[in-house]
């Protein structure tokens, strides 16, 4: 299965591994879940995970390991979809990737992706995505 993962889920999964975002990272590591990414998503992952404030929650090694895995085992996509009007314009790349690939978007911040702007994209919390993943 392919999904688009908002950066907040990646960060949360690295911080605590025994909750929904952590389980998603396990699915990624075991190659049961593939991420759809482009250079904008990749740059966001790298920039956010490099923030010093996160070093008390996960090690540089953990960060480097997951980024290496994502870089090498994701579906790299050229995105031609444009979305506007989101509360945080920096989040547009995630919804655009979901629309481009017809993959679900998993986010810990549903309010950043108002339903009226989904344009048919499926947007899930990590817990709801896991329910859907294991149901299917």
pLDDT digits (tens, 9 = 90+) for 1-21: 999 999 999 999 999 989 999
Residue 60 counted as domain residue: yes
Q: How many CB atoms lie within 10 A of CB 75?
A: 15
For the whole model, what pTM was predicted?
A: 0.96
Q: What is the pLDDT of residue 124?
A: 98
Kindly state whether residue 115 falls inside one of the protein's structural domains: no
CATH number at residue 103: 3.40.50.1010
Instruction: Please report whether residue 116 resides in a domain.
Output: no
**6 lies in some domain:** yes
Query: Percent of the chain at pLDDT above 90?
Result: 97
Distance of CA 123 to the CA centre of its chain: 11
Residue 89 lies in a domain: yes
Q: 5 has which bridge partners?
A: 106
Q: Which domain holds residue 6?
A: 2-107+122-135
Classify residue 83: in a domain, yes or no.
Answer: yes
Average pLDDT over residues 47-66: 95
Whether residue 136 has pLDDT greater than 80: no
Longest Cα–Cα distance in the chain: 40
Strands of 84-128 (E only): list them: 105-106, 123-124
Q: At what angle do helices 7-15 and 126-135 cross, to 10 degrees?
A: 90
Number of domain units in the chain? 1
DSSP, res 65: H
Q: Does the residue 96 lie in any domain?
A: yes
Query: Hey, what are 4's tokens?
Result: 């688009």
How far is Cα 79 from Cα 62, in angstroms, rounded to an integer? 28
Residue 113 belongs to some domain of the structure: no
pLDDT band at residue 89 using 50, 70 and 90 as cut-offs? very high
């Amino acid at each position: 299965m392919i999904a688009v993962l908002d950066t907040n889920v990646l960060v949360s999964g690295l911080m605590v591994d025994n909750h929904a975002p952590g389980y998603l990272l396990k699915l990624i590591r075991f190659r049961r879940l593939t991420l759809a990414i482009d250079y904008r998503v990749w740059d966001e992952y790298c920039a956010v995970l490099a923030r010093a404030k996160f070093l008390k929650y996960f090690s540089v090694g953990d960060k480097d390991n997951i980024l290496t895995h994502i870089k090498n085992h994701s579906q790299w996509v050229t995105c031609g979809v444009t979305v506007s009007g989101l509360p945080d314009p920096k989040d547009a790349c995630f919804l655009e990737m979901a629309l481009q690939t017809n993959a679900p978007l998993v986010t810990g911040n549903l309010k950043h992706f108002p339903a009226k702007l989904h344009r048919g994209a499926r947007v899930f919390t990590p817990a709801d995505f896991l329910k859907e993943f294991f149901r299917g």
